[in-house]
C-alpha cells in the first residue's frame, strides 16, 4: 500500500556515497528529508543536489538531516559528485543512497509507472523525530524542486507541532498564523495568544507567530 501521512517511515539498509546507511539510525532523534532523483548524470538533478548542498546549514538549523537517492549504484554516484561540485560550485556534504535493486524506491513508492517504468519521480518525504511521515510532495522528472519551499514546509511542521496554529497560504517563518478552529475557549485563547488575534470570521483568526 502507498505510504501515507502518519505512517512510520519504512526502515532499510542501503549503500550510499558515505558508506552503508541504516536509515532509522541515520535519522535518529532528528527530522529528515528524503528526496529521490530519477537518474545520475542528469541535468536537473545535478542542479538540485548542488542547491541542497548549499542549504545544508539551513537544514541543520532545523535539526534536519537530508539524504538523496538515485537508482544507480554508489560508484556511479561518486563519479557524478565530481560533476555536481564542478558545475554547481559547492562541495557535496550529505549522502546519496545507491538503489540499483530499487529496494528503497519500491518501499517508498518512488516509481510511478505511468510516468516511467524504471526511473523514480522526484519524491520528497518529510519525516519527524518519531520517524513518522509528516508530509510528501511529488514532482515529475522535468520539474526541479524549490528547496526554499521544502524549508518552509519544515518550518510549518515544526511550528504547528508546538503551538495551536496552522500556517496560511504563502506563509513564511515570521508571518502571521491562523488559530486552529478547535480552540474556542476565551481563557485558553488569552493564555496561548497573549499578543491577541484578529477574527476576520469566527473561523478565521489571525495571530502573530506565537514563538516570535
Q: What's the CA gap between 39 and 90, in Å, rounded?
A: 20
Q: What are the residue numbers of the active site?
A: 45
Q: Between 52 and 179, whose beta carbon lies closer to ligand BEZ? A: 52
Grid coordinates belonging to 33: 528529508
Q: Are 69 and 101 in contact (CB under 8 A)?
A: no
| Piece of the chain touching ligand BEZ by CB under 6 A; list 26-34, 41-49, 93-101, 177-185 | 41-49
Instruction: Sort strands 198-201 and 133-139 into parallel, antiparallel or unpaired.
Output: unpaired
Binding mask 84-123 for ligand BEZ (x = CB under 6 A): ----------------------------------------
Report, in Å, the least distance between residue 39 CB and ligand BEZ. 6
C-beta contacts of 118-122 below 8 A and 24+ residues apart: 118/71, 119/38, 119/39, 119/71, 120/36, 120/37, 120/38, 120/69, 120/70, 120/71, 121/36, 121/38, 122/35, 122/36, 122/37, 122/38, 122/48
Beta strands in 23-121 (DSSP E): 31-37, 64-70, 96-98
Under rule CB under 6 A, residue 51 binds ligand BEZ: no
Q: Between 107 and 141, whose beta carbon lies closer to ligand BEZ? A: 141
Grid coordinates belonging to 77: 554516484
| Piece of the chain touching ligand BEZ by CB under 6 A; list 14-22, 40-48, 64-72, 153-161 | 40-48
Which of 27, 33, 45, 133 binds ligand BEZ (CB under 6 A)? It is: 45
Under rule CB under 6 A, residue 39 binds ligand BEZ: yes
Residues 6-25 that bind ligand BEZ (CB under 6 A): none
Under rule CB under 6 A, residue 44 binds ligand BEZ: yes
Amino acid at each position: 500500500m502507498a505510504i501515507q501521512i502518519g505512517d512510520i517511515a519504512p526502515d532499510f539498509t542501503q549503500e550510499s556515497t558515505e558508506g552503508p546507511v541504516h536509515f532509522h539510525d541515520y535519522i535518529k532523534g532528528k527530522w529528515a528529508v528524503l528526496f529521490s532523483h530519477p537518474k545520475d548524470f542528469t541535468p536537473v538533478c545535478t542542479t538540485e543536489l548542488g542547491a541542497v548542498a548549499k542549504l545544508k546549514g539551513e537544514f541543520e538549523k532545523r535539526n534536519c538531516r537530508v539524504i538523496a537517492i538515485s537508482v544507480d549504484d554508489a560508484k556511479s554516484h561518486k563519479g557524478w559528485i565530481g560533476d555536481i561540485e564542478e558545475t554547481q560550485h559547492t562541495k557535496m556534504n550529505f549522502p546519496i543512497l545507491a538503489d540499483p535493486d530499487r529496494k528503497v524506491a519500491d518501499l517508498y513508492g518512488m516509481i510511478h509507472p505511468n510516468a516511467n517504468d524504471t526511473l523514480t519521480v522526484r519524491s520528497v518525504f518529510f519525516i519527524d523525530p518519531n520517524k513518522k511521515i509528516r508530509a510528501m510532495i511529488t514532482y515529475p522528472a522535468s520539474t526541479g524542486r524549490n528547496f526554499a519551499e521544502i524549508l518552509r514546509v519544515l518550518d510549518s511542521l515544526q511550528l504547528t507541532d508546538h503551538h495551536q496554529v496552522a500556517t496560511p497560504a504563502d506563509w513564511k517563518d515570521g508571518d502571521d498564523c491562523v488559530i486552529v478552529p478547535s480552540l474556542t475557549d476565551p481563557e485558553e485563547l488569552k493564555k496561548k495568544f497573549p499578543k491577541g488575534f484578529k477574527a476576520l470570521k469566527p473561523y478565521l483568526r489571525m495571530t502573530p507567530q506565537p514563538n516570535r
